[in-house]
Amino acid sequence: MSRVWPIICQFGVGGLLCIVGIVCGLRGRYLDLSLARDRRFMVIFAAGFIGLLVLAAVFTFLAPHLPEGATP
C-alpha cells in the first residue's frame, strides 16, 4: 500500500483542486460549456488528467515488475 497511497493522494487531492478550479470557472459562466472552445479545453484537461493517472499506474504496477530485458 505504501506505493498505492501516493497515487490516491496525488490524484485525490489533485482532483479536489481541479474541482475547485472548474466550479470557480463555471460560476459566473466564465467557463461556458455551450462554447466549443471551452468544451475543447475541458476535454483536453480531462485527457491530461487520465493520461497522468495511466502513466502513474504503469510505473507503479507494471514497469517495476517487468522481467529483465523487457520494455515498459
Partner 1 sequence: MIIAQAIGGILDYGVMLTYFVVVLGFGLCFGRYTKSTKDFFFGGQRFAWWLIAFSCVATVVGSYSFIKYSAAGFTYGISSTQTYFNDWFWVPVLVLVWIPIVYYRRIQSIPEYMEARFDKPTRIAATVIILIYIIGYIGINLITLGKTLQTLLGWQIMTGAAITAVAVALYVYIGGQTAIIMTDLAQGIILLIAGMGLFAAGIYHFGGFGDFWALLPQSHKYAFSDFADPPEFSFIGIYVQDALANTGALMLMHQGFIMRFLSLKSVHDSRRMVVAWILVLTPLAAIATSCGGWIAKALVNNGELTTSAGDSFVKAAHFLCLPGLFGFVLAALTAALMSTADSLINAVSAIFVNDIWKPYVKREADDKHYLVVARITSLVAAALGLALVPVFMKDTIYGAHGMFTAAVTPPVLVAIFLGITWRRYTPVAAFTTITGGALLVAASFIWPDALVGPLDFGMGPGSYKFMRALFGLIASASLGIAVSLFTRPKPLAQIKGLVAGTQLDAMRQYKGAEPNRRPGKIAKVVVSVDPALEEGTVIVSRKTLDTMSADPGDLLYANHARWYYGGLRSVHVKAGPPAADANTDHITMNPADAEAARFADNQPITLEKIL
Task: Tell me the closest approach of the beta carbon of residue 11 to partner 1, in angstroms.
Answer: 8
Are 42 and 51 a contacting pair, CB within 8 Å?
no
Rule CB under 8 A: is residue 63 a binding residue for partner 1? yes
End-to-end CA separation in angstroms for the chain: 22
Per-residue contact string for residues 21-50; x = within reach of partner 1 by CB under 8 A:
xx-xx-xxxxxx--xxx---x--xx--xx-
Q: Report phi then psi at 66, rounded to 5.
A: -65, 145
Determine which residue in the list 33, 39, 43, 59 makes contact with partner 1, applying CB under 8 A.
59
Task: Tell me the closest approach of the beta carbon of residue 23 to partner 1, in angstroms.
Answer: 8
d(CA 20, CA 22) in angstroms, rounded, equals 6
